[in-house]
Amino acid sequence: MNHKKEQFKAMILAAGRGARMRPLTDNLPKPLLCVGNKTLIEYHIENLAHAGFVDIVINHAYLGKMIETALGDGSRYGVNICYSPETIALETAGGIVRALPLLESRNGDELVEQPFLIVNADIYSEFNFSTLLPILRQINKGTDIAHLVMVSNQEHHPDGDFFLDSGRLVPTGKEKLTFSGISIYKPSFFYGIKPGIVSKLAPMLCQAITEGKVSGEHYKGKWVDVGTPERLYRLDAQLKNK
């Protein structure tokens, strides 16, 4: 299948300060920290490219120019990278709103509301992004507003984030799972937020889940929230010993 025909866009969220990673992030943005033989963000770009996502948007704030210098226009990865700089970090929803003009699709002069993929830069995952192409098509034609990839709870986050039941995110359930930082959204999910406003994603998701508009899946493969130097060093050792 020629995935390029799909024209679905992806965004990598890379505007976080990475305060918990200090001193490693004192002079380097967190997405440029290395594990194995690549930076965290390069794993995402290469995995997205392999899955057929050609147009990638990356937001940045802290030391963001270093990200642009390191990655360039994306041509060496076989993708087109556009950047969405933020003077201050706008949180997840605010950052996506600022980048909407880059994420929205057009058919000639007509604006097309096509869903897009979002990936947090500060995770490591071996998730196959091509498996989300059918979900993107489904959300494009259906009434759902979002799709979240969930993972099993980690030692540092034992209580999880959201309940998943038979492929749906639901307000109540037996046990919460952890949000992986990989998700799909319709642009209209963010239309109520003014550009430039600091806006968090979690309250919006909780409301959409209550309204029954969010699907989900449980990914059980390799996934790491690279939130501390210790986790970074552990992952680095694992990848170098592969």
* Domain boundaries of the chain, sorted by first residue: 8-234
Q: Which residues contact 181 (CB under 8 A, 6 or more apart)?
A: 13, 118, 119, 120, 122, 123, 225
Residue 24, pLDDT score: 86
Mean pLDDT calculated for residue range 138-158? 92
Please, what is the average pLDDT of the chain? 91
Return the pLDDT at 150.
Answer: 98
Between 123 and 141, the higher pLDDT residue:
123
Backbone dihedral angles phi then psi of residue 38, each to the nearest 5 degrees: -140, 165
Mean pLDDT of 199-203: 93
- Residue closest to 130 by CA, chosen among 183, 220, 51, 46: 51
Instruction: Please give the pLDDT value at position 6.
Output: 56
| 183 pLDDT above the threshold of 90 | yes
Mean pLDDT of 158-171: 94
Question: Is the full-model pTM beyond 0.75?
Answer: yes
Q: Collect all residues with Cβ–Cβ distance below 8 Å to 115 and sequence separation of at least 6.
A: 8, 136, 139, 140, 184, 185, 186, 187
Per-residue confidence (pLDDT) for residue 83, from 0 to 100 = 97
Structure tokens of 238?
A: 């694992």
Could you read off the pLDDT of 43-92 as tens digits, one per residue?
Answer: 999 999 999 999 999 999 989 999 999 999 999 999 999 999 998 889 99
pLDDT single digits (tens) 7-38: 899 999 999 887 888 888 889 999 999 999 89
Say which residue, 62 or 132, is predicted with more confidence: 132
The top-level CATH class assigned to 8-234 is alpha beta
